[in-house]
Amino acid sequence: VKRNANEPEFHQSVQEVLESLVAVLDKHPEYIELGIMERIAEPERQIIFRVPWADDTGRIQVNRGFRVQFSSAIGPYKGGLRFHPSVNVGIIKFLGFEQIFKNSLTGLPIGGGKGGSDFDPKGKSDAEVMRFCQSFMTELYRHIGQDIDVPAGDIGVGGREIGFLFGQYKRIGNTYEAGVLTGKGLTYGGSLVRTQATGYGLVYFMDEMLKAKGMSFAGKNVLVSGSGNVAIYATDKVHQLGGKVVAMSDSNGYVYDANGINLATIKQIKEVERRRISEYVKLHPTAEYHVGWEGIWTIPCDIALPCATQNEINEKDAETLVKNGCKAVGEGANMPTTLEGTRVFLERGVLFGPAKAANAGGVATSALEMSQNSMRLAWTFEEVDAKLKTIMVNIYKNASMAAEEYGHKDNLVVGANIAGFIKVAEAMRAQGLV
Ligand code: NDP
């Protein structure tokens, strides 16, 4: 704790994983002797760098850039870049740590990493975002590569940012190394379904979990927090499966639409115009807008899908959701539920899909993008979507089997951590003291 002072999110993610692994360590005391736990919680490498750029008025601005290369035990480091003012080393470490187990769960050969900057793309012109991305990549390029470390998007990093980052990497490196970044546009090496993958994958995972208990999305009222990449495509898939998303949010507030959220309107506001979700009620006057994003959890629902950011559901929110009849929660965002909130859901018998398992569809499809880049081929939408679905079903099966095997039937938090951990621990054992 002393060594990682002022990193509460990192402590939270490590605590959750360690608590889950008690039964594994009882069965495999050699993991303790081999120092697997101490090693896995220490990044292999962390890079912090200055990112200077000029704004549209010509003023020099300085942000801080991060890349934490956490574990290469099972493949090159892989994980997104987050651009948000709240970014600091502790946040990037928690995300990188989670990524190790998530990537292992996909069954694909990818290690764990994460990066980003405290730069805020909100309110910046395209030219400013481009200059920032070019400066960021001018340092980052020396640390990444298709066999070394492959970044992707996350909060604040979408198709626009990945395009600018890729352009600068290509220019500096004088190489068309398509597999160095994922989430690319379709005209220059991107994969179909990558844009939809995290949201679709979340709903495929939840559908499998619901089916195992004789339930489905059909006719259910669903809350989806956030209105970014993950939230939008989770909503899309819920609607395809016959559910009704009645509320979405952004960092200022939430909209409630009893008729079901009109996703075309949300996409126009958030993806095209890059404006606030409050605009929604101008086009749908029977819907309500409320200031304050936390309020979304007070709306009665059958299923809740937190898809915005970490720690957005606390113990009190979890109590309210359960009291109002919520039967299932699927984490689209990373660590959106606090440890206390998670405990409430598990103790009250709410079906709970933890982030590591439930949102792994994004990185899995990124790995499929890397495969297509290596083969210099492009698969169809249907091919990639079918592979994504198979991966999500397998993640559900592996996590629930591990939970049962280690005496925690139906606890997918424990199951996902164990299933993800064992493969990495075995790879570390085989590779010696590295
Ligand atoms: P986006 O930037 O596309 O969207 C983020 C959304 O969450 C926005 O609506 C944003 O609102 C809202 N939000 C951000 N911070 C806060 C906050 N502090 N309080 C309330 N709302 C907030 O990001 P993504 O959709 O890509 O990512 C969302 C989550 O999913 C993150 O936890 C990310 O790590 C996780 N994730 C993403 C993957 C991906 O493939 N993109 C893969 C796996 C996990 P506003 O517009 O006001 O900023």
Residue 276 lies in a domain: yes
| Cα 357 to averaged position of ligand 1 atoms, centre (Å) | 17
| Cα 377 to averaged position of ligand 1 atoms, centre (Å) | 30
What is the per-residue pLDDT for 378? 97
255 lines ligand 1 (CB under 6 A): no
Residue 419 lies in a domain: no
ipTM of the complex, rounded to two decimals: 0.98
Query: How would residue 139 be classed by pLDDT, with cut points 50, 70 and 90?
Result: very high
Q: Is the same domain home to 185 and 224?
A: no
Note the pLDDT tens digit of each residue in 218-268: 999 999 999 999 999 999 999 999 999 999 999 999 999 999 999 999 999
229 lines ligand 1 (CB under 6 A): yes
| Cα 75 to averaged position of ligand 1 atoms, centre (Å) | 26
Q: Quote the number of domains for the chain.
A: 2
Q: Could you tell me the CATH number of the domain that includes residue 232?
A: 3.40.50.720
Q: Is the same domain home to 128 and 242?
A: no
Note the pLDDT tens digit of each residue in 330-342: 999 999 999 999 9
What is the per-residue pLDDT for 2? 77
pLDDT of residue 205 exceeding 90: yes
Residue 35 lies in a domain: no
What is the per-residue pLDDT for 101? 98
Residue 114 annotated to the active site: yes
| Cα 231 to averaged position of ligand 1 atoms, centre (Å) | 8
338 lines ligand 1 (CB under 6 A): no
What is the per-residue pLDDT for 64? 98
Probe ligand 1: pick from 100, 154, 204, 254, max atoms within 8 Å of CB?
Answer: 154
Query: How would residue 3 be classed by pLDDT, with cut points 50, 70 and 90?
Result: confident
Q: What does the H/E/C string look like for the chain?
A: CCCCCCCHHHHHHHHHHHHHCHHHHHHCCHHHHCCHHHHHCCCCEEEEEEEEEECCCCCEEEEEEEEEEEECCCCCEEEEEEECCCCCHHHHHHHHHHHHHHHHHCCCCCCEEEEEECCCCCCCCHHHHHHHHHHHHHHHHHHCECCCEEEECECCECHHHHHHHHHHHHHHHCCCCHHHCCCCCHHHCCCCCHHHHHHHHHHHHHHHHHHHCCCCCCCCEEEEECCCHHHHHHHHHHHHCCCEEEEEECCCEEEECCCCCCHHHHHHHHHHCCCCHHHHHHHCCCCEEEECHHHHHHCCCCEEEECCCCCCECHHHHHHHHHCCCCEEECCCCCCECHHHHHHHHHCCCEEECHHHHCCHHHHHHHHHHHHHHHCCCCCHHHHHHHHHHHHHHHHHHHHHHHHHCCCCCCHHHHHHHHHHHHHHHHHHHCCCC
Domain that holds residue 293: 195-358
Q: Is the same domain home to 120 and 201?
A: no
Percentage, residues of the chain above pLDDT 90: 99
Q: Which of 93, 102, 114, 237 is catalytic?
A: 114
Residue 120 lies in a domain: yes
Q: Is the same domain home to 244 and 143?
A: no
Note the pLDDT tens digit of each residue in 364-408: 999 999 999 999 999 999 999 999 999 999 999 999 999 999 999
What is the per-residue pLDDT for 434? 85
Q: Is the same domain home to 140 and 249?
A: no
Which whole number is the average pLDDT over 84-107?
98
